[in-house]
Copies of this chain bind each other. A is one copy, B any other.
């Protein structure tokens, strides 16, 4: 399988520049003091739609347009952030967007999709409903992670990080693996010694299980993780290949560690974050990833679409 290259990510960065924000990399004094290293937060919660997802969605639609293949409609499936991103990208480019979303989706995420004009089909079979909609409408599916164009788009997060700083460790939330695969590719092109580690909830560890089994594993439906943005039911073929090549490790964190890290990271950074965005801090605190003593650590804060934590 052909992997996404650093050049592909450079091309994505040029392509999506008019449509996305370059998000700030914010130093957290409080987290730095706590962990004994320099902690920087890549604030993708401040991206359009409140998550990194427009990068991949815009790169895909723009790539299709370059090839003369921009459809009138696309369908997709998503816990919410990718859905809003595709709706956002579709609105910019005049494409109608229909998404299958879980019945249990966060209200903040449902509202966010509607805000950009996306049509929602509630379902418990995300991928199956998405594929059925694609057949019915005779239109392409813009999958949330397992497309090379999506991986390249998400990789622009890593490209911006490496432009701003020389990190020793980058921690990336993992759902289907598109973000961590793209970031690993971009970061290691400039800093091959930097460790890039993915973090997924123990309750939804599709990428970790697939790496261990050496094949895509379809997770049984279990207790939902509070990090709803990371609840991918399976890893992608493309993302797995990309992660094997460019990501050093994928670890998992317990719900209780996410629950503690969530309000703490909001208080420390004064950023509104969703639980998915704090799994990196949870992994460092739990010892699942070693802190590079005195080094520079980047926590990718993937999004900020949630009701606030309760006091």
Contacts and interface: CB of A to CB of B under 8 A. Distances in A.
Interface of A: 24, 26, 29-30, 45-46, 48, 50, 108, 115, 263, 266-267, 269-273, 304-305, 307-311
Q: Give the number of times this chain occurs in the complex, counting copies.
A: 2
Given A24-B24, A115-B30, A45 B308 contact: no
A307 B109 CA distance: 23
Contact of A26 (B46, B267, B270, B305): B46
A109 to B, nearest CB: 11
B263 A308 contact: yes
A48 B26 contact: no
Contacts of A311: 307-308, 310
A64 to B, nearest CB: 24
A307 B262 CA distance: 12
20 contacts: A24-B24, A26-B46, A30-B115, A46-B270, A46-B271, A108-B267, A263-B308, A266-B272, A267-B272, A269-B272, A270-B272, A270-B273, A270-B305, A271-B271, A271-B272, A307-B311, A308-B308, A308-B309, A310-B310, A310-B311
Nearest to A271: B272
Residue among A270, A307, A308 facing the most chain B CB atoms (10 A cut-off): A270
A48 B27 CA distance: 10
Given A29-B48, A46-B271, A271-B272, 20 more contacts: A24-B24, A26-B46, A46-B270, A50-B270, A108-B267, A263-B308, A266-B272, A266-B308, A267-B272, A269-B272, A270-B272, A270-B273, A270-B305, A271-B271, A272-B272, A307-B311, A308-B310, A308-B311, A310-B310, A310-B311
